[in-house]
Amino acid sequence: MRISLERDATRDERPVYQQIADQIRGEIDASRLEIGARLPTIRDLARELRVNRDTVAQAYDTLAQAGVLEATVGRGTFVASPARANGGAHPFQPVFPPLVERLLAFERARPRFGSAKGAIPLHAVVPDPSLYPHEAFRKALSRVLARGGPDLLLYGESQGHLGLRKALAERLRRAALAVGPEEIVLCHGASQGISLALRLFAAPGDAIALEEPTYNNALAAAHGHGLRPVAVPMRDDGPDLEALGRALSRPEVKLFYTIPTFHNPLGTTTSLAHRRALLEVARRCGKPVIEDGYEMDLRIDGRSVPPLAGLDSSGLVVHLFSFSKSLFPGARVGAITARGPAIDALLALKHATDLSDSLPLQAAVAELVENGEYDRHLARLRRALRVRRDALLEALEKEMPEGTRWSTPEGGYQVWVELPGAVDTRDVHSDAIRAGVLFAPGSQFHHDGRASSGLRLSFAMAGEAELRRGAQMLGRIVRERLEGEPRRAAGVHV
């Protein structure tokens, strides 16, 4: 089997994994690979083609999902028979539009964590379920259902539950963002908020400015809406303002998406001076800013900095808030704050998307906020996060090789680690999974998925002892990589 790759995107726009998949399919269609033929192992083909193992795994997975290949644990990957693939009939091959194909390519490039039983979860920015106020929420839900009756089970207004909007407006005012309930649109967490805000200002084919690195689901949303990312590099003090000015001055760039507080994945927070300068760049270029404040309630150190939206008096900034990280993701409650005509446009988009949200869930969250249980929960959560963050930082100091750098977040859930040398953390990721520790490799936070020596560690799910043990295992794996002698680590199986 011969495979020839074109790595210049100007000559072939298909990602490398798709080129591999297409050529394997061509070999099968031409009968040069017969039914039942065994393909090279992922490791061997990756070595032969000089690509990352994950790239070959994506190609094989794409063909397996289409019924072309069949993988058997312990035996290998084989050309599947049409009968085995679809009950004797040739499998249906749907033709997706280019936008969907690009989104699929992005999704397949995400790292695979498998089902590593007992693995240390340093990869997920998801609150620890043991810290959820589930009993308080159950009681709140019972109370609001008893008070609201059947009316609470009807479709609600597209703008969301008025009681929660009032409670949120009061909280945001205390956080230096003076808004009224009429300037808030509730949504299914910050994820839907990102999608609605992007659609508010940009159409398929447009470009948007994004920090590099940035939240990978914001990149997914951009791909899903047919938008082209324009990278604005992150510096120690925040996004490069000169690069931002150049990006926003381009007519095809319609907006800037930013996470100034507890940045994902970097964990950093920008200064008041930087925020004011950023707003001045956006005003000068006449471009809106989407501010993602998804972790703003999770400060554990330092002094709060006013959000961009609180410093903006012209309606330039659309602000996103979410209870998914500060409460629990299952509530699916977030909020978009905007001013002027943007509110009417957001409501039209929201209604066209899903009519309304779940009134019982929004009412129950409002109950938690109003009766003080949410703030009591935050106090408990912040104490736990401070202990976990400090444990992780101490362990990194002790375990990581010389030359490693990392951020020290004042809140949120994530620490960004930069490894010394030309290490691709996708390779470290493969070794770490086998050893039983999970993290997020830096490539998934770049718009083009390029190799990165960075990685994100989360202290959301793991306890203090797990964090220390995970850092110890990771330090050992990185040293082995730097020495050029990676060994198969013992541990859990995936």
pLDDT in tens, 163-189: 999 999 999 999 999 999 999 999 998
CATH 3.90.1150.10: which residues of the chain? Answer: 120-124+382-483
Q: What is the pLDDT of residues 430-487, one digit of tens each?
A: 889 889 999 999 999 999 888 899 999 999 999 999 999 999 999 999 999 888 744 4
CB–CB of 17/58 below 8 Å?
yes
pLDDT band at 109, cuts 50/70/90? confident
CB–CB of 492/436 below 8 Å?
yes
pLDDT band at 85, cuts 50/70/90? very low
Q: Can you tell me the mean pLDDT for 273-283?
A: 98
- The residues pairing with 322 across neighbouring beta strands, listed in sequence order, are 334
CATH fit for domain 120-124+382-483, picks 3.40.50.10090, 3.90.1150.10, 3.65.10.10, 1.20.140.10 = 3.90.1150.10
pLDDT band at 492, cuts 50/70/90? very low
CATH 3.40.640.10: which residues of the chain? Answer: 134-371
CATH no. for 16-94: 1.10.10.10
Share of the chain above pLDDT 90, in %: 69
The domain defined by 134-371 folds into: Aspartate Aminotransferase; domain 2 (3.40.640)
Higher per-residue pLDDT: 356 or 405:
405
CATH 1.10.10.10: which residues of the chain? Answer: 16-94
